[in-house]
Chain A
Amino acid sequence: MTFAARRALLASGLVLLVGTPLVEFAAAVGPLSNYLRGDYPPGQSAYVMMRPAALIAIVLVWFQWIVGTLGRRLERWLGVQTLVPLHRTLGLSAVALVLLHPILFAWSRSLRSGTLEVVRTFFPPRGENIWEFNLFFGAIGLYLVIVAVLAATLGRRLLPRAWRYIHALNYAAIASVFFHALSVGSDTRLPMTHALYWLLIATGAAATVFRVATLVRSRRGRAASERGDRSAAALASANASPARPA
């Protein structure tokens, strides 16, 4: 397969991953132009529009997960020198949509129930019900993503060594966000979207396990070669030292 064909395959795959949930969503809510006509209670249009923001964002977040764990292999497979610029661009796009989702949700709540509802969206629930509890995992994911992305953008200069470890908070963010999506997502229970989300989780988890295994193996290999170098150096210096007198 040529590199161009592989890139086209990847792009088509991403379009399919984004398009499938959006098609199911559109079938569930009906014509979106209705929400401009005011036939709905206050806040309904914002509530409906926050859902495609999340559906697109989570696929971008998943792709970032894959690029983050299998970046080098993906670069070789695609025949590109580096995926880092695309990783940055898609990362910022994902963050924009990840932010839009709770903003629209808080907006919808404030239109329906008053301004204080905005606060409730971003703060821990007061033990009311399981839905509010599961909803808050989305807020946790949002905060972790913001910290992780800030580490990669601003932190590279401030913490040149440590920023990668803070950026790894994205793994916790991904777990939180997928839990939130599957537990309270209005569209994640539609059949194709539900199956797709489990596929995303499975592939991401497999990529992470593979990456960790590779890292552990390379560290062991490095440690072994360092030990080998040291003993070779010791042997060489022992051979080079003058013979002892009889």
Chain B
Amino acid sequence: MDRSIRRLVFCLTGLATAALATPAAVETLQTFRGARKDWTAVVPTISAANVVEMIRDGKKVVFVDVRESAEFDEFHIPGAVHSPVRDIDGLDLDDLKGADVVVPYCLKDFRGCEGAKTLQARGLDNVALIQGFGIKTWKKAHLPVAGSFSGLTDERAMDELLAKAEGASR
């Protein structure tokens, strides 16, 4: 009896491992073959530069930070709305529906992508991810962030962002 239970446990473990690794293996194979679908047709992306231009031109861009509170307090895109990814279902969409673009993000958009899909499923059609993924791309582009790391408030960080946008447009 004991041996059969152990065999069952080993088989279940093997099956679980294979099942969990399969989607990643399929994706890797598709990537190497160049056969991956264009996922941006489903979740569009927008470059950080385009976003900054839109903000400079007075368009309404709403960032939704889907990370945890401690991460948000460290640094976030100025003006971002904070809503951890598990709370996105309860986020009030009235403000977001009127936006020109809603950009959910996290560090590299693993959680950001989940947030984007949830918002799309809730009926928003103006959702996009940052091209290059996440706030790491934003910081790599030397764009200002608010929070304890930079010591900037949202207002000061936004002023710096607009100043950069003005400088870039000249």
Contacts and interface: CB of A to CB of B under 8 A. Distances in A.
A44 interface: yes
Given A45-B23, A47-B110, A97-B16, A38 B71 contact: no
B24 A93 contact: no
A48 to B, nearest CB: 8
Interface string A86-120: 10011011001100100010011101110000000
Given A111-B31, A190-B86, A104 B21 contact: yes
Contact of B75 (A49, A104, A129): A129
A206 B75 CA distance: 39
A46 B23 contact: yes
Given A38-B37, A129-B75, A49 B5 contact: no
A85 interface: yes
Contacts of A89: 5-6, 9-10
A90 B12 CA distance: 11
A85 B9 contact: no
Contacts of A40: 39, 42-43, 113, 117
Nearest to A44: B113
Contact of A42 (B2, B31, B68): B31
Interface string B27-67: 11011000011010011000000000000000000000001
B27 A111 contact: yes
Interface string B90-132: 0000000000000000011111011001000100000001000
Nearest to B24: A46
B67 A189 contact: no
B9 A90 contact: yes
Interface residues of A, number: 46
Contact of A130 (B2, B12, B37, B74): B74
A120 to B, nearest CB: 11
B133 A113 contact: yes
B122 to A, nearest CB: 12
Nearest to A110: B28
Contact of B43 (A41, A45, A53, A111): A41
Q: Kindly name the residue among A47, A56, A108, A129 whose own CB sees the greatest number of chain B CB atoms within 10 A.
A: A129
Nearest to B121: A30
B134 to A, nearest CB: 9
A104 B20 contact: yes
A37 B37 contact: yes
Nearest to B13: A93
Interface of A: 28-30, 32, 35-50, 52-53, 56, 80, 85-86, 89-90, 92-93, 96-97, 100, 104, 107-109, 111-113, 129-131, 186, 189-190
Interface of B: 2, 5-6, 9-10, 12-13, 16-17, 20-24, 26-28, 30-31, 36-37, 39, 42-43, 67-68, 70-71, 74-75, 84-86, 107-111, 113-114, 117, 121, 129, 133, 149
Nearest 5 A/B pairs, CB to CB: A46-B24, A38-B37, A45-B23, A93-B13, A89-B6
